[in-house]
Amino acid sequence: MADPTFDPILEVRRPRAVRLFAPITPPRRGTALVLEPREGEPVVVDADGRVPDAWLGNYLRSWVVDLADHELGFTEPLPAEDPDLLFDAEVRCTCRVDSPGQVVRRRVRDAAATVRPALAAFLRRISAGYDISDYADAEADLNAQLEFFTADPALHIGPCVVRLRVDPAVRGRAGHPRGRLRMGQMHRGALGRLVTSGDPALAARLLAGVDVEHERIPTISHPPKHRAEPAVEPAGAALRERLIAHLRQNNQHH
């Protein structure tokens, strides 16, 4: 099933130059009439308005624009704090035309496609501050921050709801009390290099920083120009024992 959207332009006509017996009339309620002159800005007429030059006005086109509220929706992958991990976001909101003149000037024919880039960028900036295991907090913050989102000059976003989905396997591992080692780190971080390269010096650096009481191990990433303290990520006792066994094996070979 396609994500909900709507075309705000309901009708396009080419009025005759002379309309003595069929003048242009105001639009019905819930719509706006936009008259496109040969020169200058579009003329917007609402349901209670008066059509200027209704009988003789030289208009290229007349456009009927929908002003009603409609549902919009789309799905969007949002980054977690670890950029290798993604939240699956389902976004649902109401939308209506805020500026009929801009809708016509920009030829907006798909409201969701118009709103989505800015809205998705707004959501990505928020979700990137959350660990994948904190999806509930991330979802709550996303919904709270949407109150301050301004969509597009042509369109108004009403009540909006974001729901985050996380693969159960990813959520279970990320949320395990003894295993909150971010996925993706194993193949790009220090532990991945230890497993693939068998570097005892690297293992020694890791084990030197092990917090035995809390079973924590430092993550060694590519160092910046100004070296900072290594970030600490939780790890289980099994991982620590694996590192110790690796060192013992290398010591026996030397």
Q: What is the pLDDT of residues 184-242, one digit of tens each?
A: 443 334 444 444 555 555 555 555 544 434 444 444 444 444 544 544 444 445 555 66
| Mean pLDDT score, 36-55 | 90
Residue-level pLDDT at 57 = 76
Q: Give the H/E segment covering residue 233.
A: strand 232-234
Helix (H, G, I), strand (E, B) or coil at 188: helix
Q: Which residue has the higher pLDDT, 222 or 19?
A: 19
- Distance (Å, rounded) from C-alpha 63 to C-alpha 33? 6
C-alpha distances out from residue 113 to 3, 110, 118, 148, 170, Å: 11, 5, 10, 20, 30
Q: Which residue has the higher pLDDT, 218 or 125?
A: 125
| Mean pLDDT, the chain, whole residue set | 77
* Res 80 pLDDT > 90: yes
Residue-level pLDDT at 161 = 94
> For the chain, what percent of residues have pLDDT higher than 90?
48
The DSSP call for residue 2 is P
CA-nearest of 119, 127, 64 to 95 is: 119
Q: Which residue has the higher pLDDT, 228 or 51?
A: 51
| pLDDT band of 64, cuts 50, 70, 90 | very high
Residue-level pLDDT at 3 = 84
Helix (H, G, I), strand (E, B) or coil at 165: strand
Q: Which residue has the higher pLDDT, 52 or 188?
A: 52
Q: Which residue has the higher pLDDT, 234 or 115?
A: 115
| pLDDT band of 178, cuts 50, 70, 90 | very low
Q: Which residue has the higher pLDDT, 235 or 253?
A: 253
Residue-level pLDDT at 181 = 45
pTM: 0.63
* Res 8 pLDDT > 80: yes
* Res 95 pLDDT > 90: yes
CA-nearest of 69, 114, 73 to 92 is: 73
Residue-level pLDDT at 32 = 97
